[in-house]
Copies of this chain bind each other. A is one copy, B any other.
Amino acid sequence: MWLQREIRLEARPRGFHLVTGEVVGALPELGSVRVGLLHLHILHTSASLTLNENASPDVRRDFASWFDRAVPERAPYWTHTLEGEDDMPAHVKSSLLGPSLTLPISAGQLALGTWQGIYLCEHRDHGGSRRLVATAWGEAGEG
């Protein structure tokens, strides 16, 4: 079976945001996949997806602190500055974290670790709504 659907995530402020519920809620058909995979792909170059700790908001805040220091705005080596000070750092952060996640599906559910959640990594100050292409494939069945 194949499923492919575009998901539009609501606009969020710059930072790291837990979106597991929003993504899974948009894909009720996952419940009928016995074994398979879900691929999530973000259609942007200034926001990204990652998987990390799903319990403590301070982990997501610390992610922002580290990335803002590691990829600073107003560094003297940036030449692509016309689209704002947050633009070029957003591109680099996006590639460090990556545009896609591939996640196992087992018995109708994402087979994630207890503490794993899907993060939308919003690297722009005003990124707006973000679009994902979700593709699931596998064997149907109840497990």
Contact = CB atoms under 8 A, between A and B. Distances in A.
Question: How many identical subunits does the complex contain?
Answer: 3
Given A62-B88, A95-B63, A97-B95, A39 B41 contact: no
A89 to B, nearest CB: 9
Given A58-B80, A100-B102, A91 B36 contact: no
Interface string A24-39: 0000000000011101
A85 to B, nearest CB: 13
Contact of A133 (B62, B79, B111): B111
Contacts of A137: 37, 138
A98 interface: yes
Nearest to A139: B2
B95 A52 contact: yes
Interface residues of A, number: 59
Given A62-B78, A62-B91, 18 more contacts: A2-B35, A2-B36, A4-B104, A37-B39, A37-B137, A39-B102, A41-B111, A50-B98, A52-B95, A58-B80, A62-B79, A63-B95, A66-B92, A69-B77, A96-B96, A99-B116, A100-B103, A104-B133
